[in-house]
Structure 1
Amino acid sequence: MSAVLDLDPQADGRTRVRLAELVALRARVAKAALPRLESRAMRAGQQSSRLYGRGMDYAESRVYQPGDDVRRLDWRLTARSGRLHTKLFQEEREGRLLILLDAHESMRFGTRVRLKSVQAARVAALAAWYAVRAGERVGLMSFGNGHRLLRPQGGTRGALAVCGALADWDADVRPVPGEPLSDALLRAGRLMHGANRVLLISDGLSCDEAARGRLLDLSSKAGIRVLVVADALELGMPPAGRYPMEHDGVRREVALFGERQRREFQQALGAGQARLNGMAQSLGLPHATVDTAADPLDTVMSLLAPGVRR
């Protein structure tokens, strides 16, 4: 983690991620009333381990079967029922959240308050503080700007590591070839390091049709949540007027006056978020959208709450 980034005048929290802001989000999560997260292997996408030993919790008892360990007989239930019963134990596992962050150039766009990339970093930081407060480990993987991975860590150190990585990775603006979402999901499936929850944060512009199958495959290993970050111009038809746009230092002006012209502009600009939201909806994955001007705290907490179905 590099606190010197806050001395960079470009790290203004609007066009560039500001580390101090990400760290300060800890206080907001600490004050929020959070539901208790489960951290057991029997969560969606996980199989329980019917073993016993250190780190094992009693799960249930069942009628004795040949081959069961006689040392684990449930004598009380055996005495009450008159039939031999065996205790079954479930392995206790620490919950792990992997944040999958879209860092394509398309994320460096915004017309209200901040860029999508900055809002995505705020969302990721809130999710990290939420996870560690609930006793989970948290890791971070980005795509669209190279293969970057921060393995899941626990406690305050884990959340601070995520915040530091978010600021460092945002400051590195070297051009890197893009990456379709399907490739990123395949890589995430190989590098999950035991994560049983995945939060995908993206604007959806890298979402390809092959991502559908990859999301489905990944959901068999972990609980998947999708949070789409969008600009106001991607979510609704813009008012008539002239809109200055800048890309790679080149400024241009887009004139939007006719209703059809404005509708087609919004549809083209918002195609990514509509595609990703539609895919998540069709697969039954919990999903939500947050715009660049919004406070994402309630959205993040609602989306990551246990048992969420949207």
Structure 2
Amino acid sequence: MAQSVKQLLPAHADGVHLCLEELLPYKQHTVKWLPPAKSLWSQLLGQHQSKQLGRGMDFAEVRQYQPGDDIRAIDWRVTARTGKPHTKLFSEEREKPVILYVDLSSTMQFGSSLLLKSVQAAHIASLISWLSVAEKDRIGAVIDTGSSLVEIKPTSRNKGPLQIIAQLVECQQQALSGASAPSSMQTVLMTLNRLCPKGSEVIMISDFVNYEDSFRPLFNQLRKHNRVKLVHIFDPLEQGETQFRGIERVSDGKNARWLNFSSKSDRLSIKNAFDSRKLELESLSQSMEMDYRSLSSDISLLQQLSG
């Protein structure tokens, strides 16, 4: 790796392996996204923002309207039934479970320039973990190595992020040490539906290479009782962006083929395939009111968030 690229790497990172020293410092950066600062999600790339974003209000009770009540909170059904105006009362949303799905499977063990996609996924997972506990939420995770799903139950305070970070380091080493088939997203979604307590915020961090339209019912089941966000990790080579002009055999974990990167048409076909997948994910997110964001593996996380 060229010296100029090394200088762009986060401290203690080599772009391939993970260590505690590169993930722990995200704790000190959380203050940048705590209220009233700008939301972390508004600084990630993406075209679709769910109506469910942000901390909300929980319904508490209905009582008879009193002077000074917000007329927008009038419960018209109760008002019509009783003949007297009634107002909905809300309480601020309390501690909620945040569940991360972090994909470290075989398709994520790829990076053409700065970081493997799996390493970038671990970095954003670390930041979200620390940010969640700073906001008084409990944080848990499902970490996917391709050969297994490691479940971490939601925990508050520092214990939650520390457990997740330690498992990310171990699971990345496991994923690098042996080839495994790409994970089944069906199994992942079934696990999340089983694991996530009702009212959770579920954040899926993946390249979503294995997404299929047939999984929509499982996504629908997940988002019915939870807030779901998708963080799409991609590499510039997947968009056909590379200085390489030779011929290479490439694989998506299912199919393999030879590509001539000197050919503009080959590079365009790569880009078109990526754009098609991205459009599928955006369509899924929009139709199910889920948040969709994207994150590149060729720029460090904090650089992208400060842009």
TM-score normalised to structure 2 length = 0.70
Moved more, 193-202 or 153-162: 193-202
Counterparts of 1:96 and 1:171, CA distance in 2: 27
Q: Which structure's relative contact order is higher, taking Cα pairs within 8 Å and 6+ residues apart?
A: 2
Corresponding residue for 2:155? Answer: 153
Structure-2 residue corresponding to 1:222: 226
Preserved contact between residue 38 and residue 95 of structure 1 (Cα < 8 Å): no
1:22 Cα deviation from its structure 2 partner: 0.6
Q: Contact 1:39/1:95 (CA < 8 Å) preserved in 2?
A: no
1:211 to 206, 210, 215: 215
Is the 1:204–1:273 Cα contact (8 Å) retained in structure 2? no
How far apart are the structure 2 equivalents of 1:142 and 1:270?
Answer: 26
Which whole-Å deviations, capped at 9, do the CAs of 1:232-280 have from their partners, x for residues lacking one? 11134445612667999xxx99532222122113334666545334422
Alignment identity in percent? 22
How far apart in 2 are the matches of 1:269 and 1:286? 19
Answering whether residue 257 of structure 2 is matched by residue 266 of structure 1, we say no
Aligned pair partner of 1:197 in 197, 201, 210 = 201
Long gaps (5+) in structure 1:
1-10, 43-47, 51-58, 64-82, 302-310
Number of the residue aligned with 1:76 = none
Which residue is equivalent to 2:120? Answer: 119
CA distance in 2, matches of 1:181, 1:24: 31
Counterpart Cα distance in 2 of 1:152 and 1:300: 26
Q: One-letter code of the match for 1:288? A: R
Q: CA RMSD in A?
A: 3.5
- Which letter maps to 1:35? P
Please name the residue that 2:55 is paired with: 38
Tell me if 1:136 matches 2:137. Answer: yes
| Deviating more after overlay: 204-213 vs 232-241 | 232-241
DSSP-derived class of the 1:35 partner: coil
* Counterpart selection for 1:62 from 61, 64, 83: 64
**Conserved in 2, the CA contact under 8 Å of 1:95 and 1:136?**
yes
**Compared CA separation, residues 161 and 276, structure 1 to 2 (3 A):** same
Q: Identify which of 140, 145, 165 aligns with 1:163.
A: 165
| Aligned residue in 1 for 2:262 | 257
Q: Judging changes above 3 Å, is the alpha-carbon distance between structure 1 residues 103 and 270 closer, same or farther for their aligned structure 2 residues?
A: farther
CA contact (8 A) 1:108 1:116 kept: yes
Partner secondary structure for residue 27 of structure 1? helix
Distance 1:276 1:86 in 2: 39
- Residue from 287, 294, 302 that aligns with 2:299: 294
The alpha-carbon deviation at position 170 of structure 1 amounts to 0.9
**CA distance in structure 1 between the partners assigned to 2:87 and 2:270 by the alignment:** 66
In structure 2, stretches of 5+ residues that fail to align are 1-11, 37-53, 66-83
Q: How many equivalent pairs are there?
A: 253
Partner amino acid, structure 1, of 2:149: H
Tell me, in whole angstroms, the C-alpha distance in 2 between the residues paired with 1:235 and 1:206.
17
SS of 1:257's equivalent?
A: coil
1:142 Cα offset (Å): 2.3
Q: Alignment partner of 1:140: what SS?
A: strand
Paired with 1:196 and 1:300, the residues of 2 have a C-alpha distance of 25
Tell me if structure 1 keeps the 8 A contact 2:106–2:181.
no
Q: Report the TM-score, using the length of structure 1 for normalisation.
A: 0.69
Give how far 1:166 is off: 1.0
Matched-pair contact (CA < 8 Å) for 2:240–2:267 = no
Q: Give, in whole Å, the separation in 2 of the partners of 1:258 and 1:242.
A: 9
Structure 1, 183-192 or 87-96: larger mean CA deviation: 87-96
CA distance in 2, matches of 1:110, 1:239: 14
